[in-house]
């Protein structure tokens, strides 16, 4: 279970995240939706334990996400992923695996390389790849070994249609394993397809917490929440 208790992070501009409290159960995929500057990336960085909040805390299965040891239980894709660009694809992924899962066989790397059609590039240096292929590497680094908590900031950035379809398949598969996924995305059709719950943020506050189902029209909800008054 992911417990988010009254987290807040305000920047000198008075923008940021003013308040967020959620409880997310295993197997839930939750989207944070909203316009630029609504607090999505700040929220995700706090949830992943990358950024310290001014108040509150986040726990995954009782473990504080800020603690170093907890990072082994979290897969994280930031909006602009960092890579060791001179490393090969498989070298980079192996390095992350050894840091997080040193006593575990790394076969899931090769399964995901195949799934995301990167096997042919596994010995290619990352700096030689396109933005879309680098994004696939970042996604693999977050999903591999199916950690209990996966945090994805705009995971479809730069992906072609096939990459998006592969990502959808994996998100649905890991949901069945009981993983918790929290993501942000501007593409409402993608959110509709993969998420069980949608949190609408505006100016750092939750405006609506919606369970996804066939009757939900996300376009209409978005218009009602964000249309200028």
pTM for this predicted structure:
0.94
- pLDDT band for position 229 (cuts 50, 70, 90): low
pLDDT of 136-167, one tens digit each?
Answer: 999 999 999 999 999 999 999 999 999 999 99
Share of the chain above pLDDT 70, in %: 100
Phi, psi dihedral angles at 6 (to 5 degrees): 50, 50
Superfamily of structural domain 2-226: P-loop containing nucleotide triphosphate hydrolases (3.40.50.300)
The tokens describing 105, both together, are 């066989």
pLDDT at 115: 96
Residue pair 154/184 in contact by the 8 Å Cβ criterion:
yes
Asked whether the beta carbons of 221 and 81 are under 8 A apart, the reply is no
Measured between alpha carbons, how far is 153 from 164 in angstroms, rounded to an integer? 14
The mean pLDDT value for 179-208 works out to 95
* Cα four-point dihedral sign 33, 38, 39, 41: positive
The rounded distance, in Å, linking the Cα atoms of 202 and 207 is 6
pLDDT digits 0-9 by tens, 49-67 = 999 999 999 999 999 999 9
Q: CA dist 208 to 104, 201, 218, Å?
A: 41, 7, 12
Write down the domain spans for the chain.
2-226
Asked whether 31 and 185 are in contact (CB, 8 A), the reply is yes
Residue 81 pLDDT level (bands cut at 50, 70, 90): confident
Using the 8-state DSSP alphabet, how is residue 125 labeled? B
3-state DSSP helix/strand/coil % of the chain, to nearest 5: 40, 25, 35
């Amino acid at each position: 279970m992911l417990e988010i208790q009254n987290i807040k992070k305000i920047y000198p501009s008075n923008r940021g995240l003013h308040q967020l409290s959620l409880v997310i159960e295993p197997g839930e995929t939750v989207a944070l939706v909203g316009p630029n500057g609504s607090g999505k990336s700040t929220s995700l960085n706090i949830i992943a334990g990358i950024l310290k909040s001014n108040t509150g805390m986040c726990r995954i299965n009782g473990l504080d996400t800020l603690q170093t040891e907890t990072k082994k239980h979290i897969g994280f894709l930031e909006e602009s992923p960092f890579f060791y660009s001179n490393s090969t694809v498989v070298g980079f992924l192996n390095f992350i695996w050894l840091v997080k899962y040193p006593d575990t066989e790394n076969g899931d790397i090769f399964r995901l390389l195949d799934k995301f059609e990167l096997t042919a590039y596994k010995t290619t240096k990352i700096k030689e790849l396109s933005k879309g292929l680098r994004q696939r590497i970042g996604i693999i680094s977050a999903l591999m070994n199916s950690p209990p908590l996966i945090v994805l900031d705009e995971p479809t950035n730069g992906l072609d249609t096939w990459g998006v379809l592969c990502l959808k398949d994996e998100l649905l598969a890991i949901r069945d394993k009981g993983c918790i996924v929290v993501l942000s995305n501007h593409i409402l059709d993608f959110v509709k397809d993969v998420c069980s719950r949608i949190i609408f943020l505006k100016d750092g506050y939750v405006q609506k917490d919606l369970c996804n189902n066939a009757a939900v029209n996300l376009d209409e909800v978005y218009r009602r929440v964000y249309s200028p008054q």
